[in-house]
A and B are shown apart, each in its own frame.
Chain A
Amino acid sequence: MKLIVNGMELDVVSPPLTPLLHVLRDELDITSPKAGCQQGGCGTCTVLVDGEPRRSCLTAVATVDGAAITTVEGLGERDALSPVQAAFHRHYAAQCGFCTPGMVIAATALIERAGGPVERDDVLEALGGHYCRCTGYVKIIDAVMAASRGEVEEIEDVPVSVAGEPEVQPKGSPA
């Protein structure tokens, strides 16, 4: 089997019924899609399959053989965030961050599909399957609407690693 993950064509050897989530995380070492509930309920494993958001925990890898998969790793760079990532940063739309990958992917697909400003109800519909236990959603919804309006300001304070200093490894993080 093959997957085109963030533009790179990769061979996959996991068994056919393996959830796409575990192929990405365990075989390909792409860890932005999180293994949250693994029951399709929380949304943090969402990735784009040929441009459409789908739950990677519910998707057997054989059923997407040959498809183009996009994860957060394929959206922006550390110093060149995607519009949705920048808006999440600007609007404080992430707290613990565990739901953020799925939120960002689903919001990116929504804005791509709409091609312009989206309404609050569109955001509620598109993020309906994504649970956040910290923010109360208000800032997330604000961020997605701002990104859809192209309100992306320069982000200057994204932390960058300094040569010689070890990167911070969050303790106890499921990531």
Chain B
Amino acid sequence: MKTRILPQLVAASVACLLAGAVNAAGVLAPDDDEDDLVPNGKGWGERAYPTHPNGNGNGQAGKGNPSGANGISYHGGPLILGTTNVYYIWYGNWTGNSATTILTDLATNLGGSGYFNINTTYYNGSNTHVSNSVHYAGSTTDNYSQGKALSDGQIQSVVASAISSSRVSKDTNAVYFVLTSADVTATSGFCTQYCGWHTHGTISGSDIKYAFIGNPDRCPSACEAQTTGPNGNAGADGMASIISHELEEAVTDPDLNAWYDRRGMENADKCAWTFGTTYQANGAMANVRLGSRDYLIQRNWVNASGGFCSTTY
């Protein structure tokens, strides 16, 4: 009898250990007795809307699995699939600032990298995965058309103006980044609550995904990981990490109803301000090399193997 029961007990113990390991890795999986939180745009999660526009009363869309085994859950919304196009709108005064080349190089070299490949672990309701393909599609400038203290609405106006005036193409498979110079602030919490954000809106009749990226030189202690950057421009180097953060969130949760955990955290939120193994580059810390440049970019959440933060996949 011993020879028959022992293997079963051992198997049961192993099952428990494995289950424990999965739980440890994916500690943010929703509890059964708790609805998911959804971000409210103010920096924290709230209970899902009583009547979600695309789903049931729990704020969960009609399809998708809200209980993610990897610590993050799919809520039924669309993702950006295929090649993701990136547009920059340089707002304010960027004359003579090396940020324009540092950040353009970033957008040019993110696609195909091990870093962006992390996003291929995310998929939609048809099991179509995000592609490791990013195309830098162009840029434009905006000479303070909305002043130096921008509301959320004014930031959307900056994007709308760039599209409606054909300074950039209208592209629903893109993320438009409004990059502000150091003399510009955003009045809804830049430097005190956030360093950047992403959202979507109807612009020229289409669902346009866009992001705000403030210049961390306004508040180094809040939005820069280090006072010197690997590319010799602390503000631009700080923005590189924030752009990466918002891009991976915009791709996996473009309409704010796809991938996030029970606390409302999207993939990059779960690894914010963590960098993993670093090395020295030009007197600063770096952790990723893209093209010919080194960057210090925060890690992203891998939606596999229980879930974990990484700089590559």
A and B bound? no
Question: Which B residues fall within an 8 A CB radius of A?
Answer: none
